[in-house]
Chain A
Amino acid sequence: MSYYDIDAILTEAERVPATFNHTIPLLGYLDNSPSLKAGTTVPLPLWLAEMLALASAGPSQQHSQESTSFTSLTLPSSLSTSVSQALKADPRAVALRDQSAHFYALGVRMLDLFEEPELGDVLRRTFVTRAGDVVMHARKAGSGTDDALGVGAQGEEFLRGLEEWERQLFRRAHDGAKGRREWMDGVKN
């Protein structure tokens, strides 16, 4: 991941629920209130939430033993158990883009912070299962008639639900098939 990577930057803009462990008067604007009370949960972009959760701030005000960070994170709704249950049932049936445009990238970032081996398994299986379909659609698109994608309503629905990694896969598979076709045409002459 490069510092200049546009996709990485956009992934970090995804919001994650963060619960503040301290009362911070000056950050009220995050919650649209005059002062940010301890225990308030605010959806914060990952670039902010991650560092706030990792930075050590000394003992907390209420619980003097634990939580030495400014915030505690929870998994975003796009990676909640209901989503992973749905993905377990049928990976193809979920429009990942509706969950998050950077679904896998966000998952990777969250798995760095959370100990969730099961979620990692689900994501991996989901990607592998869907990748086959993505490539199949990519090769179909443009091979036959130029106008219609020729994938049917269901396929169209599926393609609309692709998130960023899958879109890139689609583009590469499509360009690859196209490039090969062009090369083959050139060989014949």
Chain B
Amino acid sequence: MYGDQGNKLVQHAKRTQNLSHLPTYQTELVRAVTREVRDLDKDVTQLLEPFQGSFDPSADQATACTLLVNHLSMRRNKRCLLAYHRTRTDKLEELVWKGADVNDMPGKSRDDSTGAEGAAGSLSPQEEEYVRQYSDLLAAYKGQWTDIDLTGNLEPPRDLFIDVRVLKDAGEIQTEYGAINLTKNKAQLIAIYRGGCATMPEPRETKSVIQRFRERHIGIDFLG
């Protein structure tokens, strides 16, 4: 009956709420629901046609009831559609805030090497656009405070150093905390925070150091 497809969509949304990743966008189901709405609208127009805009509900209750059922079904479908998409955009926003490589995620056909964690192709084109624009928005918002990282980790660091194991010879690397010599198979500590008790450690810097290593394709394993 009408509304069943929409219900399936909401059940998908329910499942999405409890998942850490975003499941594939239900293109088919969304299309089926919108088609149902369009059909219902056509039905309504057809039903109302003979009345020429002067329909009196109390005179023809059977038609009135049919119209009401059609109208309610459309409204229900609309709610299901909106709720489904809202659940997904909420999730996407959450991912953007976490900075979980969302920028690689929408890459459906782009290089699969970076973001190939099963997330490829799970977004609709509109959702990809949403993520892109939301990321821009968040970046603009964050840009107002250069010394605070709003998306930084809230957990204070346990250590001033990070344990790494070097997988590949990389020679000497300059970081803003001094030079590090990376030799293969050597386990070593890298300072990730500026020393001195006057400077508060900035949690995000772990990430920036790691990022810099990634950019240079240096093979290291993070142990800590």
Tell me if A58 and B72 are in contact (CB < 8 A).
no
Tell me if A6 and B65 are in contact (CB < 8 A).
no
| B17 within 8 A of partner (CB) | yes
Q: Which residue of A lies closest to B158 (CB)?
A: A189
Expressed in whole angstroms, the minimum distance between the Cβ of A133 and any Cβ of chain B is 23
Complex CA gap A4/B14 in Å reads 11
Tell me if B79 and A3 are in contact (CB < 8 A).
yes
Complex CA gap A4/B88 in Å reads 12
| A148 within 8 A of partner (CB) | no
| B58 within 8 A of partner (CB) | yes
Kindly list chain B residues whose C-beta atoms are within 8 Å of the C-beta of A52. Answer: 65, 68-69, 72
Expressed in whole angstroms, the minimum distance between the Cβ of B26 and any Cβ of chain A is 14
Kindly list chain B residues whose C-beta atoms are within 8 Å of the C-beta of A61. Answer: 61
Instruction: Tell me the residues in window 74-98 of chain A with beta carbons closer than 8 Å to chain B beta carbons.
Output: none
Kindly list chain A residues whose C-beta atoms are within 8 Å of the C-beta of B80. Answer: 9
Kindly list chain A residues whose C-beta atoms are within 8 Å of the C-beta of B66. Answer: 24, 26-27
The 0/1 profile, CB within 8 Å of B marked 1, for residues 1-38 of chain A is: 00111110110110000000011111101100000000
Count contacts on B: residues with CB < 8 A to the other chain: 28
Count contacts on A: residues with CB < 8 A to the other chain: 27
Tell me if B73 and A48 are in contact (CB < 8 A).
yes
From the candidates B1, B10, B47, name the one contacting A9 in the complex (CB within 8 A): B10
Tell me if A47 and B14 are in contact (CB < 8 A).
no
Tell me if B61 and A27 are in contact (CB < 8 A).
no
From the candidates B3, B58, B87, name the one contacting A48 in the complex (CB within 8 A): B3
Kindly list chain A residues whose C-beta atoms are within 8 Å of the C-beta of B83. Answer: 3-6, 9
A and B contact pairs by CB, cutoff 8 A, 23 listed: A3-B79, A4-B86, A6-B13, A6-B14, A7-B14, A9-B79, A10-B7, A10-B10, A23-B62, A26-B47, A26-B63, A27-B69, A30-B1, A45-B7, A47-B3, A51-B72, A52-B65, A57-B57, A57-B61, A57-B64, A57-B65, A61-B61, A70-B68
| A55 within 8 A of partner (CB) | yes
Expressed in whole angstroms, the minimum distance between the Cβ of B175 and any Cβ of chain A is 28
Kindly list chain B residues whose C-beta atoms are within 8 Å of the C-beta of A5. Answer: 83
Expressed in whole angstroms, the minimum distance between the Cβ of B61 and any Cβ of chain A is 5
Which of A3, A26, A58: most chain B Cβ within 10 A? A26
Complex CA gap A4/B82 in Å reads 7
